[in-house]
Amino acid sequence: MSGLRRAIALSGGEKYVTLVIHFVSTVIVARLLTPEEIGIYSVGAAAVAIANVLRDFGVTTYLIQEPDIDRVRVRTAFTLTLAIGWSLGGVVYLAAPAIAGFYGEGGVEAVLHVIALNFFLIPFGSVALALLRRDMRFKPMFRVGVASALAHAAVVVSLAHAGFGYMSLAWAAVAGVLVQVAGALSATPQRFVGMPTLREARRVLSFGGRIGLANVTNEIAIAAPDLILGRALGFTTLGYFNRALGFVQLFEYAVIDALRPVWLPYFSRQQREGVDVRAAYLRALGYMLIVAWPALAAMAMLAPVLIGLLYGSQWGPAVPIAYVLVLAVAVRVPAVLTGAVLTARGLAPLVLRIAVIATTLKVLALLLGAPHGVMAAAIGYVLAETATSLLTLRYAAHRLNFAAGALWRPMLHAVGVAGGVVGVLALYVYSGLVVLEPGAGLLHLLLCLVSALVIWCAALYVLRHPLLQEGVDMLRGRLGHS
């Protein structure tokens, strides 16, 4: 368990440091670029993101999950990623004019021409990063991640200030990838000795192909709002939707994404060692719920203040959208670990099936909602996420052999604590103690945040939640080493 805690601490540390860097640069850039400029880049990035996942095609996941890795299989994985990546880079560059013409915006073509360069760079770093994750070497990954984030932030702020507009975001993406690749290769130089080969291509692709298709369909679901709303509602409305979604996803960036890189190598190691992952899965799920739902409830209550404070008054129309989209983030929390567990157990066909169903639901919901406005699209987004979460948990219960009732207790605890947070903040507003509106004072915001934290800690104590004991054990461990 100490090794897992260290991995979580390092992975979390990387995410928190990079989140702060991203947060600071985003706040600055939000004041330098207009919603339309951000929307133009978002469309280009969304189109490339789908191709970027296709470039990987599950090869890195194969390297993490493979029970018996050797140098030939590593070289085969590198050869495949290089061939696919360079081919897709050429396709993206050549397709840029057609994509820009579809959206009627020439800026999209310029964005695609620049970030197509990443397809020629990423293959040199993706295999190296996968090997670091497989070995749970999160210390060098921490250094690589922070250096990449600093490079991205420095370039985007400098170029945006110099008047490069949406192109500042494109060049920053290239700079971040370049630093990431250099750092990853320096941490794993001995693993790439030898000529390219395809000797183990069948073994790599038999597993990685299905995971790759699942990743592609998941990326389509992620890009769907940009691609559908940008066309149906315009770039300005898309900018508001993305700002609202980015705000409510701050929790995912800060907490869930800090844990995500750990789960697959951890569950894969347990699977290779013959350990039952069910208990660890349910325990981790309970921890995530008791943290996520109260935090998201507080974010929803404080959205008018936080969005105005973080991004500026021009983003006021994003607040009501955020009220809806926070539910989408909340309902997908219970299923966040399931993909890692199923992948670790070698159930690639099931992972692909879930991804196809989930993406179909989300695309249909957005297509049906967009003609009725951005709020209807946001509601459809939430409904699709809810159906996906229920489906994923049903498969998890079947494959891991636990009753659905095992989820009710942690869910009810999380709902109760979230309700307590909302109730206290609502009481503050009703009594006139605080004002939760754009431009509200920092003292009002600080009072709400401290109160939410106190309620959460008190709830953990009253419930005798095991997360409280985990925190105590980690604190004692640190004090013992000091």
Residues 439-446 have a mean pLDDT of 72
pLDDT tens column, 126-163: 888 888 888 888 888 899 999 999 999 999 999 998 88
pLDDT tens column, 194-209: 678 888 888 888 888 8
Q: Give the tokens for residue 188.
A: 């794993």
Per-residue confidence (pLDDT) for residue 361, from 0 to 100: 94
436: pLDDT strictly greater than 80 = no
Angle between helices 374-400 and 405-431 (to 10 degrees): 150
93: pLDDT strictly greater than 80 = yes
Lowest-pLDDT range of 48-62, 309-323, 367-381, 413-427: 48-62
| Phi (first) and psi of residue 404, to 5 degrees | -60, -25
Per-residue confidence (pLDDT) for residue 477, from 0 to 100: 58
Encoded amino acid at 54, one letter:
L
Mean pLDDT of the chain: 85
Report percent pLDDT > 90 for the chain: 21
Residues 20-33 have a mean pLDDT of 87
204 and 77 in contact (C-beta within 8 Å)? yes
Q: Give the tokens for residue 8.
A: 């979580």
Per-residue confidence (pLDDT) for residue 169, from 0 to 100: 92
Residues in the chain: 482
Q: Give the tokens for residue 227.
A: 């691609």
Per-residue confidence (pLDDT) for residue 475, from 0 to 100: 62
Report percent pLDDT > 70 for the chain: 94
What is the SS3 assignment for 185? helix
Residue 448: closest CA among 258, 309, 318, 290: 309
Residues 165-191 have a mean pLDDT of 87
Per-residue confidence (pLDDT) for residue 382, from 0 to 100: 94
Nearest-angstrom CA–CA distance, 289 and 462: 16
Q: Give the tokens for residue 43.
A: 């469309």
Per-residue confidence (pLDDT) for residue 435, from 0 to 100: 66
Per-residue confidence (pLDDT) for residue 61, from 0 to 100: 86
Residues 207-219 have a mean pLDDT of 82
Residues 161-166 have a mean pLDDT of 88
Angle between helices 278-311 and 318-332 (to 10 degrees): 170
Per-residue confidence (pLDDT) for residue 293, from 0 to 100: 92
Q: Which residue has the higher pLDDT, 194 or 277?
A: 277
Per-residue confidence (pLDDT) for residue 125, from 0 to 100: 86
Per-residue confidence (pLDDT) for residue 123, from 0 to 100: 87
337 and 285 in contact (C-beta within 8 Å)? yes
Nearest-angstrom CA–CA distance, 257 and 181: 20
Residues 435-458 have a mean pLDDT of 79
481: pLDDT strictly greater than 60 = no
Helix %, strand %, coil % of the chain (to 5): 85, 0, 15
Residues 213-223 have a mean pLDDT of 82
Which residue, chain included where needed, has tokens 């670029």?
A: 33
225 Cβ partners below 8 Å, 6+ apart? 238, 241, 242, 245, 366, 377, 381
1: pLDDT strictly greater than 60 = no
| Phi (first) and psi of residue 172, to 5 degrees | -65, -35
Q: Which residue has the higher pLDDT, 58 or 324?
A: 324
425 and 452 in contact (C-beta within 8 Å)? yes
217 Cβ partners below 8 Å, 6+ apart? 352, 355, 356, 358, 359
SS3 letters across the chain: CHHHHHHHHHHHHHHHHHHHHHHHHHHHHHHHCCHHHHHHHHHHHHHHHHHHHHHHCCHHHHHHHCCCCCHHHHHHHHHHHHHHHHHHHHHHHHHHHHHHHHHCCHHHHHHHHHHCCHHHHCHHHHHHHHHHHHCCCHHHHHHHHHHHHHHHHHHHHHHHHCCCCCHHHHHHHHHHHHHHHHHHHHHCHHHHCCCCCCCCHHHHHHHHHHHHHHHHHHHHHHHHHHHHHHHHCCHHHHHHHHHHHHHHCHHHHHHHHHHHHHHHHHHHHHHHCCCCCHHHHHHHHHHHHHHHHHHHHHHHHHHHHHHHHHHCHHHCCHHHHHHHHHHHHHHHHHHCCHHHHHHHCCCHHHHHHHHHHHHHHHHHHHHHHHHHCHHHHHHHHHHHHHHHHHHHHHHHHHHHCCCCHHHHHHHHHHHHHHHHHHHHHHHHHHHCCCCCCCCCCHHHHHHHHHHHHHHHHHHHHHHCCHHHHHHHHHHHHHHHHC
| C-alpha torsion sign, points 145, 171, 44, 306 | positive
Q: Which residue has the higher pLDDT, 445 or 18?
A: 18
Residues 292-315 have a mean pLDDT of 86
Residues 24-35 have a mean pLDDT of 86
Residues 69-91 have a mean pLDDT of 88
Per-residue confidence (pLDDT) for residue 480, from 0 to 100: 54
